[in-house]
Structure formats: C-alpha cells, structure tokens
Amino acid sequence: MLYLYHGTTSVCAIKARLALHEKGLEWDGEILDLHRGDQHRPEYLQLNPNGVVPTLVHAGRVIIESTLIIEYLDESFPDPPLMPSDPFQRAQARLWMKKIDDYLHAACSTVTFAIAFRQGLLKRTPEELEARFKSIPDPAYRERQRLSVTQGIAAPHVAPAVKNYDKYIGEMEATLSRSSYLVGESYTLADLAATSYVNRAEMVAMDGLWSNRPHVAHWLERVRARPSYDRAITDYFTDADKERFKFPREEISHKVGEILQVN
C-alpha cells in the first residue's frame, strides 16, 4: 500500500500526486494543514524530521524529498515510464529537476510568501506576528520572513527570486522551441516537476513570465490537458486556499514586470 502525507497546494506534494496519478496507482493518504502546523507534530517528525511534505510510506518504508519520491515511484512502478530510456536524456531530465532543487524551489517559496501568504499574516495582531517571527530559529530566515510580511514584493530578497523564476522559464522556452516536452517528445518527470512550479507562478500573478514565450504557453496547455493535472492539482484547491491566494493581481503583475526591467 502506498500512503502519502501531503498538503493541498504544496508544490512538492503536487509533484508526488502527479506521479501517483500518471502511474495510475492506488494510494491513500493524509492531508496535513501546513498553516496550522500539522507538519510539526511529533508523530509526523518521526517520519520526516525536516517537518515538510510530502512523505511517502510504501510497504512500511519511508521515503522523503519530493524529487526522490517521484523517482522512486517511477523505478518501483515502471509502467508507464516517466524517464527516458536513453542515458543522456535521463541525465537531462535530472538536470531540470536539479535546477528546481538548487534554486527554483527557494524562489517559489519566497514569492509565494511575499505575494500571497503575507495577506493572511497581516490580519494578525502585532503581538501574534512578533511571536511568529520569534519562533523562527534562523536569524537570517527570520529577517526575510519579517520583510516579506512588512514589505511584500518590495522586500529586497524578492527581486532575485523573481529573476530566478524568469531564468528557469526562459530556459524552458529555449528548450521547448525545439521539442514538445523538456526532454524530447515524451512527457517525463522533468515536465511533471516543472508543472507544479509553473502552476504556482500563475497562482501568484507571475504568468506574465510566459506572455511572450509561446512555447511555454503551449507546453502548459498540453500538461493541463493530461488527466493527472486536475486530479493532482485542481481537485485539491479548497475554499481556504482560494482565500490565501486573494491579492491585487494586477498590481503584483505590474510590479513583477518592473522587477524584470531592472538589470
């Protein structure tokens, strides 16, 4: 039995759900409320000491880290394959996923918090906010969180994150001008992983990143047409999630454009 601990809109959890649905696997799981802090429950930390989602349990064995989880699923359940048979192409697929792990995930977390999640935190009292900041042990991260709440997209660490997102989308456009998917003509784990992050960019009003990149736009249409997309993403989007992603979209989109105009 496959059992997945996941969150509704978590980009990493979405990767795992996409893989499960692409494989057509039967699975069960538990949705953790990350805003409530379910991921820090002692019993969950026994499974995943990092206190993040997703965590996969298969036949009593625990697998953490979303990239490792989706590779594990592909290797454990080889049909249909989600990695190329050619060694060079497999390396290219892993390179796309490595770029996500190396810098895009951090950029995604930064823009999500500074653009969307800050809206809910701003409704808290100053005392509640200060208590939240003090609970963050890393001083540098604590200060970034404070600036994200108080300054939003204008916080100094947000512009580099937006530019890293633009870098990744730009590399996608160049590759997709030569092929239907990120590694040749077949959908792979590289596309699966990228889907979660491109979807998040749209959720935070950064879809202007591909307004002049038609190959990315067409790729997005293709991956959204796959049955796994709604099953792994749309079907999990709750009313509470919709509230968390309510913000002045036109204003944010304009500010993103301004950031990209600055060298």
Q: What is the pLDDT of residues 152-210, one digit of tens each?
A: 999 999 999 999 999 999 999 999 999 999 999 999 999 999 999 999 999 999 999 99
Quickly tell me which residue has 């953790």 as its tokens.
32
pLDDT tier at 131, thresholds 50, 70, 90: confident
Pairing outcome for strands 27-31 and 61-64: unpaired
pLDDT tier at 25, thresholds 50, 70, 90: very high
Quote the mean pLDDT of the chain.
Answer: 96
Q: What is the CB-side half-sphere exposure of residue 87 using CA atoms within 13 A?
A: 0
User: One-letter amino acid identity for 174?
Assistant: A
Q: What is the pLDDT of residues 37-64, one digit of tens each?
A: 899 899 999 999 999 999 999 999 999 9
Q: What is the largest CA-CA distance in the chain?
A: 57
Q: What's the sign of the alpha-carbon dihedral 125, 131, 132, 133? A: positive
Question: What's the rounded Cα separation, in Å, for the pair 225 and 255?
Answer: 30
Does residue 137 register a pLDDT over 80?
Answer: no
pLDDT tier at 262, thresholds 50, 70, 90: confident
CB atoms closer than 10 angstroms to residue 202: 13
Which domains does the chain possess?
Answer: 2-76 (3.40.30.10), 87-261 (1.20.1050.10)
